[in-house]
Every structure is written in structure tokens, then in C-alpha cells.
Amino acid sequence: MIRFEHVSMSFGRRQVFSDLSLSIDFAEKVAILGGSGEGKTTILKLIMGLVKPDSGRIMVDGEDITLKSESELRDVRMKFSLIFQEGALFDSLNVKENVAFCLREYTGMSEEEIDQRVKEILRTVGVEHALELMPEELSGGMHRRVSIARSLAFCSPRMFLYDEPTTGLDPVNSDNICRLISDMARDGAGLIIVTHKVSDAIKVAERFLFLYEGKIVFDGSADALMQSAVPEVKFFVEAENVK
């Protein structure tokens, strides 16, 4: 269980959250929606301990992670797989070496075992043919797939965290990434997807949160989202013309 208890957060003079509380189970499939600058990505960073709240507590599996050190956060972070919008691949390494990097750094696997594991992971995300390609040679959709593969190499997560995974992709690649996200969350693993695209959120999530001015103004199902009378939610859904 992930719990935010009365969390407040500011960047300089800009307040992102004020007294934000929420609970998400590890097995849930959750979409966090809202406009730009509403703090969607910040929620993911708070869960991972990459930033600290000004006040309040963040609990993961009953542990308060708010004051944990970097070394203490390692076990917490192993529960999650975080894929940022940019993908953050190493430009100087090919696909194979990008995925193998964490295996060399954090496991005692032999080179033969690493080679087999890398091929297995890339096959899982459908880019096994791209072993020798450099990041600049990848399409947007392939780049996201390799980013997911690299996160899988690091750990076997209980929950996947996605930050705007389909931004900048054409409709076909967006649909392919959504299918992959759904596939990765089988066998009990959950997901949190941060996005401003309602249509993509509906393809992968079962619970929907909507952020507005530092507060959750909607928490419910896809049907409830589409029929919501909350003005900010209604405008957001209608603006995308989701059917």
C-alpha cells in the first residue's frame, strides 16, 4: 500500500500540493490525470523518494519513507519500475549495453547470463531485433520499449510507474505502448500512469485520479470519469473528445 498523509509540497514560491492525502494498493491500475504543472510527475518522484515533501508523510508498505537516506531508499525503490517520459537511455551505449548496465552494476551474473537475460527482456517488449542499435537510431516507440526493458533488468517490480509514456508518439505507437503497459501489469503487478491523454489512460487503468490546484477533485472509475460533473474534469474530457 502507498499512502500520502497530509502532504504539502512547494517548489520555490509555487505550491504544488496542500494537504494531499491518497491511498493506492500495489495491485491497482491507476491513472493520474490533470493539466500541466498540477504535480502529476511529482507524485511519482515522491513515491520513489526522489524529492521530499515540505510536510506530511509518505508510507510504502507501512514504512515512512519521508526521512529515509539514499541508501535506505534502495529497498523501497526496488519495489517499483519508473519510466520517465524522456526514457533516459545512455546515448553512448547501444540497446544491448543500456539494458545490461544495471545487471552488471547490481548483480553477480556472468557475461553469458547477462547476454541471455538481455535478449529475454528485449523479446518481452518486442525489440529483440534492436540489440546493436544506438538510441538515436530508435523510433519514439522503440525508445520507450527499450526504456521499459532497462527498468525490468533492474528489478522485478511490484508496481510500474509511467510518466507520460505516450507523449509525442503517433496513434499507432501510442496504442502499442498502451498494450505493452497492460501486458507488463499482469500476474498481480500494478501500475500508475501519469498522463494528460484520457484516451490512453482508459486503455490501461481501472481507477482515475484528477488533480487540480493541488487537490484530488475526482477519484473513480472510467464510467464515472466520463460522466463527471466536476467542471475541471468535464472540460478536460470534452477537450479531448473521448468517446
d(CA 201, CA 13): 31
d(CA 38, CA 73): 25
Is the residue at 170 inside a domain? no
Is the residue at 43 inside a domain? yes
Is the residue at 93 inside a domain? no
Is the residue at 63 inside a domain? yes
| pLDDT tens-digit map of 35-83 | 888 899 999 999 999 999 999 999 999 999 998 999 899 889 888 988 8
| pLDDT tens-digit map of 100-154 | 987 887 777 889 989 998 998 888 888 888 889 998 898 888 888 888 888 777 6
Number of structural domains, the chain? 1
Is the residue at 241 inside a domain? yes
What confidence score (pLDDT) does residue 9 get? 92
d(CA 153, CA 186): 17
| pLDDT tens-digit map of 205-220 | 999 999 998 899 999 9
Between the alpha carbon of residue 73 and those of residues 28, 76, 152, 198, the distances in Å are 22, 5, 18, 32
Is the residue at 148 inside a domain? no
Helix, strand, coil tally for the chain in percent (to 5): 40, 25, 35
Strands 159-163 and 80-83: parallel
Q: Which three cell numbers stand for residue 15?
A: 505550491
| Boundaries of domain holding 71 | 1-79+190-243
Is the residue at 107 inside a domain? no
Is the residue at 178 inside a domain? no
Percentage with pLDDT > 90 across the chain: 44
CATH of the domain at 196: 3.40.50.300
